[in-house]
Amino acid sequence: MNGKGKAAGERKTATARRKRYPVKAFGMLCATALLAAGCAQKEKEPAAAGEAAAPQPPAISTEPVTLTVFNSSMGDPLFQNAIVAPLQKKYPHMKIEMVKKGKGSMMEDLIASGSVPDIVFGDSSGDIPVYAELGILADLMPYIKKYGFDLNRFDPVVLGSVQANFPAGQFWMLPSSVNIATLHYNRDIFDKFGVPYPKDGMTWDETLDLARRVTRMDGSVQYIGFDFAPNILLPYNQLSAPMVNAQTMKAAVNTETWKTIFTTLKRFYEIPGNEWGKGGDAFLKSKTLAMFAGTSMFGSLPDATKNGLNWDVVALPSFPEAPKTTIQLFAPLLGVSKTSKHPDQAFLAVAHLLSEEGQKDNVRQGRPSALNNADIRQQFGKDVEVLQGRNAGAFTFNKLAATPQAVTKYDAAAFPIIRDKFREAAVGGKDINTALKEAEEAINKEIEKRKNQ
């Protein structure tokens, strides 16, 4: 090639290179957008010769569409606030209609009538095995790939706990938030007896010491140091101990880990004057309970505060084996039904609720995010009036305990048995080893009974 030809070739190559790089950068930018609204139109600049064009997210239809949502447990005001309002703000062309779980509208009824809603709401504990057995959920992975939805935005513990319930490589449901257990306490009781307030990062031993110091009879009033919500701290325990083995479908409670859980919590009820089962009423109404461990009580606290409850909250105390760890995943989930006539639109609705934009309002209203985003977590409770001036950081102080196996359809049957056996050990004087052995036998008997029904 002569000098002129060579120079011309280099100029042509340089021009092609300059064209190529902006195309790639633009394509990457589009691919990272969750819903790709700004990238719906294909870049007109052609790719350089021999180079495949960057994949473009599909255009999003704005044709009016009605999406039905199966509501398994949310109250109507919360459903409107957390689901309907953000979706209609983002997608005005989407009309959202609720189908509430109840008589005549159980999932089995909806399947029989051929009217399974487009979006399926449920919880991570009881609904997953039911939906799996009914076979109603679509695999979301094709839509996750199609619309560039980034799963890495989720807290890895949350993601792993959810994925444990589905076949490898599939996602049937995604978490919209998480439930966090904390320790609420009555400031006035601690002030009355000159005992320091609880603090974030305590162990159960430190909490036990505080409970002993504030469990007292004062005049005719018995003050109780501590109580907990057994329906939260036992099935979703901090040590990730299952009630039923998901592989063998046998009881998994007669173990050293469950013995540790029983032993640790039983000690509170060995304190003279400390009573089991007083829970919410003793804390919120009679104001005789100093500390209560459970999930948030934002629905009840406004009235209790007006009636004189002087309260605050700290992170859930932890075991030495699992420091700074709250309960396992106990979360609302969203999926798309296999029979939806609008699966893309349904997925886009779900995706928006799980986006940073969609999560911010939820978090500010006191619903912890499933996303691994420190900026969003710091917004927790900003719009919860009753939480102002109190320790909102308690709800984000601990990490979630891992959930290493799938939820089983027998967990719901196992829980009342393990709860009752704990009570027998805690306040009935039953030996813990005996209680756990009896729990194992009773759970296995109940599983066999249900298998044969």
Residues 310 and 433 in one domain: yes
Residue 42: the pLDDT is 37
Residues 444 and 358 in one domain: no
Query: What range defines the domain where residue 69 resides?
Result: 65-178+330-387
Q: Are 177 and 332 in contact (CB under 8 A)?
A: yes
User: Tens of pLDDT along the chain (453 residues)?
Assistant: 444 444 444 444 444 443 333 333 333 333 333 333 333 333 334 444 444 444 566 777 788 999 999 988 788 888 888 899 999 999 999 999 999 999 999 999 999 999 999 999 988 878 889 999 999 999 999 999 999 999 999 999 999 999 999 998 899 999 988 989 999 999 999 999 999 999 999 999 999 999 999 999 999 999 999 999 999 999 999 999 999 999 999 999 999 999 999 999 999 999 999 989 888 899 999 999 999 999 989 889 999 999 999 999 999 999 999 999 999 998 889 999 999 999 999 999 999 999 999 899 889 989 899 999 999 988 999 999 999 999 999 999 999 999 989 999 999 999 999 999 999 999 999 999 999 999 999 999 999 999 987
Residue 282: the pLDDT is 95
Residue 4: inside a domain, yes or no? no
Residue 155: the pLDDT is 92
**What's the half-sphere exposure (Cβ side, CA atoms, 13 Å) at 306?**
5
Place of tokens 């030809």: 5
Residue 60: the pLDDT is 76
Residues 427 and 322 in one domain: yes
Backbone angles phi, psi at 334, to 5 degrees: -130, 135
The Cα 399–Cα 315 span in angstroms is 10
Residues 280 and 207 in one domain: yes
CATH number of domain containing 307: 3.40.190.10
The Cα 269–Cα 349 span in angstroms is 47
Q: Could you give the number of structural domains in the chain?
A: 2
Residues 368 and 230 in one domain: no
The Cα 144–Cα 152 span in angstroms is 12
Residue 38: the pLDDT is 39
Residue 286: inside a domain, yes or no? yes
Residues 102 and 194 in one domain: no
Residues 281 and 421 in one domain: yes
Residues 74 and 137 in one domain: yes
Q: Are 396 and 155 in contact (CB under 8 A)?
A: no
Residues 342 and 355 in one domain: yes
Residue 136: inside a domain, yes or no? yes
Residue 62: the pLDDT is 84
Q: Are 326 and 398 in contact (CB under 8 A)?
A: yes
Residues 90 and 107 in one domain: yes
Q: How many CB atoms lie within 10 A of CB 344?
A: 16
* Stated pTM of the model: 0.83
Residue 72: the pLDDT is 84
Task: Give which of 331, 291, 284, 285 is closest to 315, Cα–Cα.
Answer: 291
Residue 124: the pLDDT is 81
Residues 306 and 426 in one domain: yes
Residues contacting residue 335 through CB under 8 Å, at least 6 positions apart: 119, 120, 122, 131, 137, 138, 140, 172, 173, 174, 350
Residue 55: the pLDDT is 57
Residues in the chain: 453
Burial class (CB within 10 angstroms; exposed 0-12, middle 13-18, buried 19+) of 103 = exposed
The Cα 88–Cα 90 span in angstroms is 5
What is the distance, to the nearest Å, from the Cα of residue 53 to the centroid of all Cα atoms in its chain?
39
Angle at which helices 356-364 and 343-353 pack, to 10 degrees?
Answer: 50
What is the distance, to the nearest Å, from the Cα of residue 36 to the centroid of all Cα atoms in its chain?
26
Residue 73: the pLDDT is 79
Residue 49: inside a domain, yes or no? no
